Chain A
Amino acid sequence: MTSPTSTLPGAPATPVDAAPAEAGGASLGHRGDAAPVLVAENLTKSYGAVHAVRDVSLACLGGEVHALVGENGAGKSTVAKMLAGAVVPDTGLVRVGGEPLSSGSVRTARRHGVQCAFQELALVPDWTVAENLCLPDGSSLRRFARGRETREAERVLAALDLEHIDPRRPVHEMPLADRQQVEIARAVSGDVKVLILDEASSALTPPGVEWLFARIRELTARGAAVVYVSHRLGEIREIADRGTVLRDGAVVSDFQRGSWTDDELISSMAGRTAARAFPAPPALEHADGPAALEVEGLAGEAIHDVSLTVAPGEILGIGGLQGHGQAELLRSLWGAEPATARTWRVAGKAIRRLDPVRAVHAGIGFVPEDRKREGLALEMGVGENLLAPWTRPHERGGAPRLKREKGWIDEVLGGLSVRTRGAKERSGALSGGNQQKLVFGRWVGRDRRLVLLHDPTRGIDVRAKQELYDAIVALAREGVGVVWFSTEVEELVHVCHRVVVLYRGAVADELQGERLTADAVVGAAVGRRAVA
């Protein structure tokens, strides 16, 4: 069998010429339709002086899943957006079923059967699920028929096995995972020849990912091509038939199902040999001091009677499926959401009333869920974003402050290997992983006692993850207590001292030592208490 991947970067001119021949060929006969449905030829895109994508060519076959992997900043998202028609390439061409997709408009692309779901949610927050689902064909704008729309949405959701989503609910009220499913549902409910998923699984829970894979398999069985952009190697192993590795905007290698290992792929992405290794949590040496956090009977809107203790230097993992109170727990501990507790002490000091201003004073730090909306002011500079909690009205600000804090800023940027042009660069220009490092970096070297992390490694590349793990462990080694909610079970199992799993807003299980295994965390997350 000829491998279509061999025609990729080495000889970029050929994939389209080869297409008709292969369509007639029986080499992939069991699929019935092996012609490249989607072909990208020599795509190039620059933003200012930065070459985001350089001469990328690839071909996606009907009935197959084509993975696009690379670190953040490697150009995956830009390629995905060009394939979807959302970004106009500087040079190069995208063909769908042999026809050039020239205009660079999402609408035209959609008419050609190219549907997409992006990591940056493209839903209208104030609209209901039903209105959002009907958005692509414009019917919500053309005439108002709420009943018909809701029925239509119900039918679509039921057909896609999403009965738990209420079509009448405004999107902004829903958890991120559900929003992402709605976005995917919107993409797959149309006429799909090509489906582009850009980090579409980043917020999904393991069952959510299973659901997504089931939808993908339905589509490929019908001969559609799927472009799958993800950082999660486990998912790629399971779903991808072929893949392209990007680095610094260019294609560095291709792979096929079963022909690769994690280490190979990571080193290909990083351009160096990198093992996926979790650092071990540091030894608990600070345990004699007062607990970093001691809370008993914490209750709030979605949490009931949660009691936690975190020793100084301890990393406490919070596990569980999304929407079982983890977000509310962290926000309550940060004072961003009202909550009460029988006893509540941070670093030995009793907490009576808490809001984020007091939390900063009490020695707490917080990395919120959504780095773009809650974490960073994207229009502002890297340095000023780092200083966001440390800006006081009566003190200096702006350039004089940056100058005075230069030592600290350089230390944070260097320590976390943030790739940036400097403290004055617009933080919105950084890649996702580097942005996340800024939100985390605020609390480094600032005499914190307790740092709360809401899934900081979601949707960032392998290298950035590794760097964040190291930074979290380094923080703990200094005696800072860490409360870390993660949707990646492996992180919890390997990097945390202890893991508390939440289920329906209460502690379902506390796992430590021998009992701290991935199976136990997942089991407790679905309400099954592991036998000790």
Chain B
Amino acid sequence: MSTVAAPPRPGTDTDGDAQHRLTEALRRVPAAAWPLVVFALLFLIGGIVRPNLLTLEALWSTAAFAMIVAIASSGQTLAVIQGGIDLSVPNTVTLSALTFLSAVDGLGAFGAFVAAIAAGAVVGLVNGTIIAKLSLSPIVTTIAMNGFLFGVVLLTFDFSQLTDIPRFASDITSAKIAFLGTEVAAVVPVGLGLLLALQALLSWTGWGRALFLVGAAPDVARLAGQPVDRIRITAYMLSGALAAFAGIVIVGFYAQTSTGMGAPYLLGSVAAVVVGGASIFGGRGSMIGTLGGALVLGQVATLVAVANLGVNIQQLIYGVIILFVVALYGRRARA
């Protein structure tokens, strides 16, 4: 294509030109900004329905919920960008939370934290090695891993004894921090810092760019001399470690454990990533987008709760959102 852009011809088809200018302007908006726009709209709609939803307190409570989803989805974002998916997030979350609680007596809070993260990284290492070296499908591998971990969780941990939540876990999550005359849960700044750091990793490091290259065109990456297997494996490792961090955050914030504590993050993490503008086929996605996606889901959850519809309806709506967004991107890709 000739790259010398001819100036638009004046006077012809003004309607078309205006429409053209609008589409051009819309195309310039970074993809990651769209979920934030949708969130803002939903927030305003909430305010119209219930004026008390249009307050900073309401925003912070939604943000805390959304940030936890975003942290649990951050690893998923990496897995999706490199052209796979990590469906072992739910039970990695559970495994890590319970490892953390079990180890805290023996190793101290920090030791237990490291042990839990390491457990998640090992899960990711196994996932990544099987997917990269044996070329098994990521969906099958990680869902099998999820089932395997469920068994491990049931066999290993005694739930009746894991009720003490160490202070360290609540300090980084549910503790309140004064901000602009209101109080914000600590998880909001902690999560924001983590996501920004991960976004920097994706945008400004060779590893991050190689992740996009591997996701967008694995053959190209391989033939350009990129260590594709190693990049894939490290991505799954980091995904596992981040799911493990989410486990600690979840147990700290909600201060309770159960075998099914990670379950909402299966659909939740995929939904946040997809709504956040990542391509389910790899090569596209961002942490900021995922945060926006999580905020949209959080606001939907708030609206569902306000309308008293119950958690089942919430799952149903998440499912519809995923289908809608995937269909939307599918159309755009063909156009």
A249 and B2 contacting across the interface, CB-CB below 8 Å: yes
User: Per-position contact with A for B197-233: 1 when CB-CB < 8 Å, else 0?
Assistant: 0000001111111101100110111111111000100
- With a cutoff of 8 Å between Cβ atoms, the chain B residues found around residue A280 in the complex are none
Looking at chain A's contact residues, is the secondary structure mostly helix, strand, loop, or mixed?
Answer: loop
B2 and A50 contacting across the interface, CB-CB below 8 Å: yes
- With a cutoff of 8 Å between Cβ atoms, the chain B residues found around residue A356 in the complex are 222-226
Residue B205 contacts which of A74, A248, A395, A429 (CB distance < 8 angstroms)? A395
B279 to chain A, nearest CB (A): 9
A389 and B225 contacting across the interface, CB-CB below 8 Å: yes
Residue A52 contacts which of B1, B8, B24, B216 (CB distance < 8 angstroms)? B1
Instruction: Please report the C-alpha to C-alpha distance between residue A392 and residue B231 in the assembled complex, in whole angstroms.
Output: 10
Instruction: Please report the C-alpha to C-alpha distance between residue A400 and residue B220 in the assembled complex, in whole angstroms.
Output: 23
User: Per-position contact with B for A49-70: 1 when CB-CB < 8 Å, else 0?
Assistant: 1111000000000000000000
Q: Which of A246-277 contact B (CB under 8 A)?
A: 248-249
Residue A431 contacts which of B1, B24, B210, B234 (CB distance < 8 angstroms)? B1
A397 and B208 contacting across the interface, CB-CB below 8 Å: yes
Given known contacts A357-B225, A373-B219, A380 and B213 CB-to-CB distance under 8 angstroms: yes
Given known contacts A398-B205, A420-B3, A389 and B226 CB-to-CB distance under 8 angstroms: yes
- With a cutoff of 8 Å between Cβ atoms, the chain A residues found around residue B8 in the complex are 49
Instruction: Please report the C-alpha to C-alpha distance between residue A378 and residue B215 in the assembled complex, in whole angstroms.
Output: 12
Does B283 touch A at the CB level, under 8 Å? yes
Q: Which of B213, B216, B224 has the most CB of A within 10 A?
A: B224
B78 to chain A, nearest CB (A): 13
Does A399 touch B at the CB level, under 8 Å? yes
B216 and A380 contacting across the interface, CB-CB below 8 Å: yes
Residue B220 contacts which of A359, A360, A377, A399 (CB distance < 8 angstroms)? A377
A400 and B204 contacting across the interface, CB-CB below 8 Å: yes
- With a cutoff of 8 Å between Cβ atoms, the chain A residues found around residue B206 in the complex are 391-397, 401
A-B contact pairs, 6 of them (CB 8 A): A249-B2, A373-B219, A389-B225, A391-B226, A392-B206, A425-B3
Does B178 touch A at the CB level, under 8 Å? no
B224 and A442 contacting across the interface, CB-CB below 8 Å: yes
Given known contacts A388-B220, A394-B206, A395-B205, A429 and B213 CB-to-CB distance under 8 angstroms: no
Question: Which residues of B pack against A, CB within 8 Å?
Answer: 1-6, 8, 24, 203-210, 212-213, 216-217, 219-227, 231, 234, 283-284
Apart from A392-B206, A425-B3, what are 17 other A-B pairs with CB-CB below 8 Å? A49-B6, A73-B1, A73-B2, A356-B223, A366-B223, A373-B219, A375-B220, A377-B213, A377-B217, A379-B283, A389-B224, A393-B205, A397-B203, A397-B209, A399-B203, A430-B3, A442-B224
A388 and B213 contacting across the interface, CB-CB below 8 Å: yes
**Minimum CB distance partner of A249 in chain B:** B2
Does A144 touch B at the CB level, under 8 Å? no
**Minimum CB distance partner of B5 in chain A:** A49
- With a cutoff of 8 Å between Cβ atoms, the chain A residues found around residue B226 in the complex are 356-357, 388-389, 391
B224 and A378 contacting across the interface, CB-CB below 8 Å: no
- With a cutoff of 8 Å between Cβ atoms, the chain A residues found around residue B221 in the complex are 377, 388
Does A9 touch B at the CB level, under 8 Å? no
Instruction: Please report the C-alpha to C-alpha distance between residue A252 and residue B109 in the assembled complex, in whole angstroms.
Output: 76
- With a cutoff of 8 Å between Cβ atoms, the chain B residues found around residue A51 in the complex are 2, 6
- With a cutoff of 8 Å between Cβ atoms, the chain A residues found around residue B3 in the complex are 50, 419-421, 425, 429-430
**Minimum CB distance partner of B224 in chain A:** A388
Does A518 touch B at the CB level, under 8 Å? no
A52 to chain B, nearest CB (A): 6
User: Per-position contact with B for A35-54: 1 when CB-CB < 8 Å, else 0?
Assistant: 00000000000011111100
A377 and B2 contacting across the interface, CB-CB below 8 Å: no
Q: Which of B206, B222, B283, B284 has the most CB of A within 10 A?
A: B206
- With a cutoff of 8 Å between Cβ atoms, the chain B residues found around residue A397 in the complex are 203-210
Instruction: Please report the C-alpha to C-alpha distance between residue A428 and residue B188 in the assembled complex, in whole angstroms.
Output: 39
